[in-house]
Amino acid sequence: MIYVETIENFFKWYLGCNPYGPLTAADWLSFSEHKLLAVTRGKVFHDGLGELEDIRQKFHYYPRDVWLYQLAAQWIKIFEDREFISRCGDVGDELGSMVIAARQVNRLMRLCFLMERKYAPYTKWFGNCFHRAGMCFRTGPDLQGCARVVDVERAGKQPGEGLPRNRADAQCLEHHAADSRRCKQLSPTTLHRL
């Protein structure tokens, strides 16, 4: 299907805002990241009025205050669950440990997108875009390892004995996040100075 819209009507429909007006921090936080990616990086086949490119530049990336807020919020999310991967293993909840490990890997990958000042795509393309963009390239393989939890029974442990403290442990996630130079520069303790 082909729809013919004015620029203003398209943005009102797609992002819920007037692209010609000022945008507040609340506006920016209400936008879906993958939609911002689409309006800034999607193909434009014709811009007869010559207005669209200026508007796309307006949405190029989050304003600094919104970006810093999102960085801090992402660090807080990571911090809140950092110990629960191993704690689930300690009580024999291997599935719970895997779920939390996968969620932490997702959060760290989102943190990498934020640090690179790139909008994250929707779920289908998330992993591919992470790898193709070369973001935090040293952490990518290790994040895959962190998402894999050792099978308690194959490791010779009885349920309740807990998972071995290895790559599935939250320390692995924290270590590899901190390994990135940008992660060190944008840690929660230094965000307030930015």
3-state SS track over 123-134: HHHHHHHHHHCC
Closest CA to 188 of 87, 114, 90: 114
Q: Are 60 and 139 in contact (CB under 8 A)?
A: no
Reported residue count of the chain is 194
Spatial distance between the Cα atoms of 89 and 26, rounded to a whole number of angstroms: 39
Alpha-carbon distance 32 to 120, whole Å? 10
Model pTM? 0.72
Give me the pLDDT at residue 39, please.
Answer: 95
| Residue 1 pLDDT | 75
Cα–Cα separations (whole angstroms), residue 193 to 29, 116, 133, 187: 22, 19, 28, 11
pLDDT in the model for residue 148:
55
Q: Cα–Cα distance between 27 and 48 in angstroms, integer?
A: 28
d(CA 92, CA 105) in angstroms, rounded, equals 21
Q: Mind listing the pLDDT tens digit of every residue in the chain (194 residues)?
A: 777 889 999 999 999 999 999 999 999 999 999 999 999 999 888 888 889 999 999 999 999 999 999 999 999 999 998 888 888 888 988 888 888 988 998 999 999 899 999 999 998 988 888 887 776 555 666 666 665 544 444 355 554 444 444 444 444 545 444 544 444 454 444 444 44
> Residue 151: its pLDDT value, please?
44
Are 170 and 82 spatial neighbours (Cβ–Cβ below 8 Å)?
yes
